[in-house]
Structure 1
Amino acid sequence: MSVVVTDNKAGEDIVVGIKKVYNTQPTSLSHLYEVFRDAEQSSAHKSNIADLLQHYTAAATFDVRGLEAKLTESGRAYMIPEALLWKQRAAMIIARWQTSPVTQDIITHILSFIHTEFVQHVRPAIQAGQSPVDVEALISEKVLAPTNAMLGENDLQITSIDVLGMLYFLGGNCHIRWDKC
């Protein structure tokens, strides 16, 4: 079947069938996903921010307590078993993609976003003495939901539980804490 449209005065696309339209602005991740999908571009990609990924995967020196201690001291000991599992899952995702510079950049953007949102929105609430329930609500609203939305096309298939695991991964590596400084 063919369709011929002559003298189109609609001023818009004329579509027979299904037209998919994505109304999103290009983002850092959408560009990296395009590179990731193209084998030639992906193999030629040089990570521009791999040093930041190394920073996130190494333990910081200013708060050397483990994840268990941080959760216990902030009244969240009940989270320890799951948090350790999710942290380990995040570590495995990071390790799985460590040989690809383009995926290193994608993961670095995600970790950086989680860290920044936590510092900007959650840490002030902790410092102000808000309850753990209020802090968890802020984490969900200001960190987890926007991070999941940021994933966009999500070519790495990172789930919402993986995003939560990355939060605990950052906590375990001393970049995030749930108690007052």
Structure 2
Amino acid sequence: SDQISKDESMVGFVDDLQFFIDNRDGETVVGLKQKLEICGRGAAFNDAKKKKELFAKLLMRFERFSSAQQLFAYIMAAIHETFDTKIIPSTSSLSTQEIDAMIEAEIVDKIMAEIGEGSDHMTLNRTHIKGMIYWLADKCYVRWHCD
């Protein structure tokens, strides 16, 4: 965006993003590894951890740019809402593969189609989107199980 190219800096996170940076209250399962294990996804932990860390680095790289923060917050809100309204209600009736296909179609494909391949200054790819999902899971805003 224009703001990133002008290099306007800011301190702190915009409110919409701060919402997701703060851990969600009231969750009993703590840590990404446990969250993946509880729903039979323990084998995905190493890959998930790498993707989560890749996104965390991107978040820190653009922490001083409100336009980048707004974009991250927008995508996180979309991920969060899709999990709450479509994915979590389906977890008891669909297989892991079906849930993964739903995440690809309803989240990754839709977001990539909407944002395109990013601006010249910040490229977001499918791996970043997956990293956001795992990052949000670690913060308790996303889960693959209903209880």
TM-score class normalised by the smaller sequence: 0.7 to 0.9
Q: Which residue of 1 aligns with 2:129?
A: 163
CA drift at 1:129: 3.2
CA RMSD of aligned residues (A): 2.1
Larger radius of gyration: 1
In the alignment, is the contact (CA less than 8 A) between 1:118 and 1:142 conserved in 2? no
Once residues 96 and 123 of structure 1 are traced to their aligned partners in structure 2, the CA distance between those partners, rounded to angstroms, is 31
**Residue correspondences, number:** 143
CA drift at 1:118: 2.0
Percent identity over the alignment is 22
TM-score normalised by the chain length of structure 2: 0.87
Matched, 1:58 2:25: no
Structure with more contact order per residue of length (Cα contacts < 8 Å, sep ≥ 6): 2
Alignment of 1:103-118 (within 5 A): 103-118=68-83
TM-score normalised by the chain length of structure 1: 0.72
Once residues 137 and 62 of structure 1 are traced to their aligned partners in structure 2, the CA distance between those partners, rounded to angstroms, is 29
Q: Which residue of 2 aligns with 1:12?
A: none
**Deviation digits for residues 3-26 of structure 1 (CA, Å, limit 9, x no counterpart):** xxxxxxxxxxxxxxxxxxxxxxxx
Alignment of 1:123-162 (within 5 A): 123-126=88-91, 128-152=92-116, 154-155=118-119, 156-162=122-128
In terms of fraction of residues, the more helix-rich structure is: 2
Once residues 130 and 85 of structure 1 are traced to their aligned partners in structure 2, the CA distance between those partners, rounded to angstroms, is 26
CA drift at 1:36: 2.9
CA drift at 1:70: 0.9
CA drift at 1:38: 5.7
